[in-house]
């Protein structure tokens, strides 16, 4: 007597669909990294500390007149403004008028909160966000969630050569962050 095979259960189908979605999402995440922005002007530019190239890119934008104010978010508490100015060759005049060092944030989520407070305090309507290409999507997500709704955010990714490990970790952090937001955390 032949036994009838049970069709896969609902949970198995859901699990397979979730896994397929995760894999396709990761492929998109890894193959279509955000790119540098063009010459568009914004009211401000925000550089998130971390990987190399972020602060120099933001200063380049500021010096080119593509933004009038700069926030460097996530600066270590022991960094003095004079040391920052010397390391990045920023004139005292530019530091005084246009550069804010943010010492409040310690991670991407708190970068978004710190940047949102700065945006509100400076009455900005548009900002350029500078971070590494692999980090951009989560940074934009957190800034979008924290910033006033009418602020335009221009992603300006610093190109890098991330490892598969970096991409894997960052992709999962983005998913976790989005799920946390959906859960109200």
pTM over 0.85: yes
Encoding tokens for residue 128?
């350029």
Digit-coded pLDDT (tens) for 18-71? 999 999 999 999 999 999 999 999 999 999 999 999 999 999 999 999 999 999
Is 27 part of a structural domain of the chain?
Answer: yes
The set of residues, in sequence order, having a beta carbon less than 8 Å from that of 1 and lying 6+ positions away, is none
Task: State what percent of residues in the chain have pLDDT above 90.
Answer: 90
Residues 75 and 146 in one domain: yes
Distance CA 111, CA 74 (A): 6
Is 1 part of a structural domain of the chain?
Answer: no
By CB atoms closer than 10 A (0-12, 13-18, 19+), residue 139 is: buried
Residues 122 and 61 in one domain: yes
Per-residue confidence at 128, pLDDT binned at 50, 70, 90?
very high
Encoding tokens for residue 120?
């509100």
Residues 63 and 104 in one domain: yes
Residues 147 and 65 in one domain: yes
Residues 102 and 152 in one domain: yes
Average pLDDT over residues 132-145: 97
Encoding tokens for residue 136?
């951009």
pLDDT of residue 145: 95
The set of residues, in sequence order, having a beta carbon less than 8 Å from that of 58 and lying 6+ positions away, is 45, 46, 47, 70, 72, 128, 130
Digit-coded pLDDT (tens) for 66-109? 999 999 999 999 999 999 999 999 999 999 999 999 999 999 99
Is 107 part of a structural domain of the chain?
Answer: yes
Is 5 part of a structural domain of the chain?
Answer: no
């Amino acid at each position: 007597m032949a036994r009838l095979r049970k069709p896969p259960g609902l949970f198995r189908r859901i699990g397979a669909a979730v896994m397929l979605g995760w894999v396709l999402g990761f492929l998109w995440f890894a193959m279509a990294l955000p790119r540098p922005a063009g010459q568009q002007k914004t009211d401000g530019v925000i550089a998130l500390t971390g990987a190399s190239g972020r602060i120099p890119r933001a200063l380049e934008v500021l010096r080119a007149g593509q933004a009038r104010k700069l926030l460097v978010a996530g600066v270590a508490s022991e960094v003095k403004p004079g040391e920052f100015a010397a390391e990045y060759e920023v004139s005292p005049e530019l530091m005084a008028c246009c550069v804010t060092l943010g010492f409040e944030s310690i991670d991407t989520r708190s970068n978004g909160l710190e940047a949102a407070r700065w945006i509100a305090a400076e009455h900005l309507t548009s900002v350029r966000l500078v971070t590494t290409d692999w980090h951009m999507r989560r940074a934009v997500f957190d800034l979008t969630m924290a910033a006033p709704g009418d602020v335009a955010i221009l992603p300006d990714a610093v190109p890098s050569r991330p490892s598969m490990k970096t991409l894997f970790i960052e992709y999962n952090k983005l998913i976790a962050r989005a799920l946390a937001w959906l859960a109200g955390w």
